[in-house]
C-alpha cells in the first residue's frame, strides 16, 4: 500500500471512497539514517550533488504511510491495522521522527473506542 509509486492523491481517493480499510502486517519502519547526495538537475540552477540529505531505507514508504494515515483520519475512515510490532514502536529511528509522531498519535486516537463510536454516529447522520 505504501511501498509502491503512489501519491497523496491516491490516498485521498481511497479515504473518500471507502468507509473502512484493512492493513495487515505493517512492517517495522525504522532504519538507520544514512547520508546521500541529492542529485539536483539543471532546473535547480546548481551543480549535481551539492546537497546531502539524511535518509533511512523505508523513508519513502514512511512518507506515504503518514499521508495515508492523515487522509484516513481526515475522512473519518475506519482503519483496521495489524503490525509486526506495537504501533508505538513502528518508527523510532530515521529522519522522519517528527513527522511520524503525528501519524502515531492519530493511529492511537483512531484505535480508541471513543473515536470509533463518534465516527459511527457521524456516518449514520451523513
Residue 13: the pLDDT is 94
Q: Does residue 66 lie within any of the structural domains?
A: yes
Whether the Cβ atoms of residue 11 and residue 21 lie closer than 8 Å to each other = no
Residue 30: the pLDDT is 80
Task: Enter the C-alpha cell of residue 113.
Answer: 473506542
Q: Which of 24-28, 29-33, 115-119 has the highest mean pLDDT?
A: 24-28
Give how many domains the chain has, as a whole number: 1
Domain of 106?
A: 8-30+60-125
Q: Does residue 85 lie within any of the structural domains?
A: yes
Q: Does residue 77 lie within any of the structural domains?
A: yes
Chain segment 39-87, per-residue pLDDT in tens: 555 555 555 555 566 676 688 899 999 999 999 999 989 899 999 899 8
Whether the Cβ atoms of residue 90 and residue 83 lie closer than 8 Å to each other = yes
Cite the beta strand spans of the chain per DSSP E.
20-26, 34-38, 51-55, 78-83
Q: Does residue 96 lie within any of the structural domains?
A: yes
Residue 115: the pLDDT is 85
Amino acid at each position: 500500500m505504501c511501498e509502491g509509486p503512489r501519491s497523496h492523491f491516491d490516498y485521498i481517493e481511497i479515504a473518500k471512497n471507502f468507509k473502512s480499510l484493512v492493513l495487515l502486517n505493517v512492517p517495522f519502519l525504522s532504519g538507520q539514517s544514512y547520508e546521500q547526495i541529492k542529485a539536483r538537475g539543471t532546473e535547480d540552477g546548481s551543480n549535481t550533488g551539492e546537497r546531502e540529505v539524511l535518509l533511512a531505507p523505508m523513508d519513502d514508504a514512511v512518507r506515504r504511510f503518514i499521508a495515508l494515515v492523515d487522509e484516513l483520519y481526515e475522512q473519518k475512515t475506519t482503519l483496521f491495522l495489524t503490525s509486526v510490532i506495537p504501533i508505538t514502536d513502528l518508527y523510532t529511528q530515521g529522519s522522519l521522527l517528527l513527522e511520524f509522531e503525528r501519524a502515531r498519535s492519530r493511529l492511537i486516537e483512531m484505535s480508541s473506542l471513543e473515536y470509533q463510536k463518534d465516527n459511527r454516529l457521524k456516518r449514520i447522520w451523513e
